Amino acid sequence: LRKVWQKRKCTVRNGYFTISHSTLNRLPVKLNLLTCQVKPNADDKKCFDLISHNRTYHFLAEDEQECNIWISVLSNSKEEALNVAFKQAHDKDRYNMENLTGAIIEEIKHMPGNNMCCDCSTPDPAWLSINLGVLICIECSGIHRELGVHHSRIQSLALDKLATSELLLAKNIGNSRFNDIVEANLPNSSSKPTKDSAMTHRKHFIISKYVDRKYVIPRIMRSPVAKLKNLEIAVKEKDIFILLQGYAEKMNLSEPVLEFSQEPRETLLHLAVLLSDRTSLHIVDFLVQNSGSLLKQTSKGNTPLHYCSLHNKPECIKLLLRAKANITITNEAGETALDIASLLNHTTCKDLKVVDEALKISSSQPSELSEDSWQQAALEGMDSEPNQNSRENHRASSRSSESSDDIPPPLPKRGHMNTSFLHRVRALYDCQADHEDELTFVAGEIIIVEGQEDSNWWHGRIEGYPHRKGVFPVSFVYILPE
């Protein structure tokens, strides 16, 4: 039986392949390329097949070259449609997360005392101390930054894209309850700054309040043993305010607990990780940020990160990694936290593997990424990313608070292009180009690196979008394993 070919007009547009009929009164066939497969014909180099979910279409081109062009166009269009679909899903997830974060921020703003600055009572404060859970005004935020991140880590509610995890303490503490403890012994209201106070007055008060803890009334029992026991009870009963009282009284929150649960020399953070659930992550976060216990080891050499792996606590892992916990520390058995997670088949602890693989690549190419940048790669599940509004230029450090801990470091001037290497990398953050030769991308997109301008700037194109190309900062991406 002889095969008869019929000529048809075909078009490819926006991920769809359209086949017109010979008569104009019939609607063309429209195929979604995401559900189709393109296959060359092994017997005839001028032919190819397009296989849909319910039918196979056979095509004959004028020659082999035209056939290859059609196959290439269809394949590329399918890949582009796939990338668009993934991007839409990513954008939807990000939109939903931004809505959730926005709703939490609105709740925080309506908590008692949060309608005014925690330090000077200026209305509508727009800055948050991440590690203390209080809202302050822009004038006081500048003094908080001067204190250093070991006292107060400041972020903007408006300019920074905050992760839900960064709102844990604000949702559970608030200005009124914080000041009930930290300003309990304030001589009189006149000694507290107002919105019209000079910066020297503000600074003197804030240092007295946060560094000297001058206005705190000791409420925890005097005996060191009794004090530590009180804090253990606070962790077990999920009482953030007893912990805050201990912090305000300058107690050492990293001391070994008196009654360990698993191993001698456990700290409060070990205990908090061990007992953690979704209702107590703020307890873990407070100790992660304020106790100085990240590197503390039990008698068996286990850090709090080891405990996360031992007891399958993935949310705690994210909080610890955000605080730059060291994943390379081994216990007395020579095991890292990742080793333990792998041994126990705790797949929920996948963030450790991301950081570990990144560090292995980083160690072989030390000039390409810092450990801090790699650690941020594991935090995508925590929906944290720097806001483009909070940095004016990729080469300049962030203007907002301690964002230097959370976004790539400032970059030097760009050099000349070197095209001697090729990588696939994934974007950690959104990046908006400042110049025509720079690349704009969103977090999660894959970039094909085609060249190196210098150790801090690479040249590449978005995978599946060859027209989107340009230079971009190395610290905004991480290398994917081969």
User: Between 190 and 293, whose confidence is greater?
Assistant: 293
Which tokens in the block code for residue 336? 């890292």
Q: Which pLDDT score is estimated for 350?
A: 64
What lies within 8 Å, CB to CB, of 128 at 6+ separation is: 108, 134, 135, 136, 154, 155, 156, 157, 162, 166, 167, 170
Could you give the angle at the alpha carbon of 137 between the alpha carbons of 136 and 142, nearest 5°?
95
Torsional class of 383: left (φ above 0), alpha (ψ -120 to 50), beta (otherwise)? left
User: Between 48 and 457, whose confidence is greater?
Assistant: 48
Q: Which pLDDT score is estimated for 32?
A: 87
Across the chain, mean pLDDT equals 81
Q: How far apart are CA 34 and CA 82, in angstroms?
A: 7
Answer yes or no: is pLDDT of 169 > 90: yes
8 A C-beta contact, residue 125 and residue 62: no
Three-class DSSP category at 10: strand
Answer yes or no: is pLDDT of 327 > 60: yes
What lies within 8 Å, CB to CB, of 393 at 6+ separation is: 434
Q: Which pLDDT score is estimated for 355?
A: 59
Answer yes or no: is pLDDT of 121 > 90: yes
Three-class DSSP category at 341: helix
pLDDT digits (tens, 9 = 90+) for 374-430: 333 333 334 433 333 333 333 333 333 333 334 443 443 444 444 445 678 888 777
Q: Which pLDDT score is estimated for 2?
A: 62
pLDDT digits (tens, 9 = 90+) for 427-480: 877 787 777 788 888 877 889 988 877 667 888 998 887 888 898 888 777 777
What lies within 8 Å, CB to CB, of 55 at 6+ separation is: none
Highest CATH level, class, for 423-479:
mainly beta
8 A C-beta contact, residue 325 and residue 304: yes
Q: Which amino acid is at 88?
A: Q
Which tokens in the block code for residue 469? 């190309």
Q: Which pLDDT score is estimated for 468?
A: 86
Does domain 224-362 correspond to CATH entry 3.40.50.720?
no
Q: Which pLDDT score is estimated for 435?
A: 74
pLDDT digits (tens, 9 = 90+) for 215-226: 999 887 678 888
CATH code, residues 10-83: 2.30.29.30
Does domain 111-211 correspond to CATH entry 1.10.220.150?
yes
Q: Which pLDDT score is estimated for 482?
A: 57
Answer yes or no: is pLDDT of 78 > 90: no
Q: Which pLDDT score is estimated for 366?
A: 33
pLDDT digits (tens, 9 = 90+) for 264-317: 999 999 999 999 988 899 999 999 999 999 999 999 999 999 999 999 998 999
Q: How far apart are CA 128 and CA 401, in angstroms?
A: 10
User: Between 210 and 416, whose confidence is greater?
Assistant: 210
8 A C-beta contact, residue 254 and residue 291: yes
Q: Which pLDDT score is estimated for 247?
A: 96
Domain boundaries, the chain: 10-83, 111-211, 224-362, 423-479
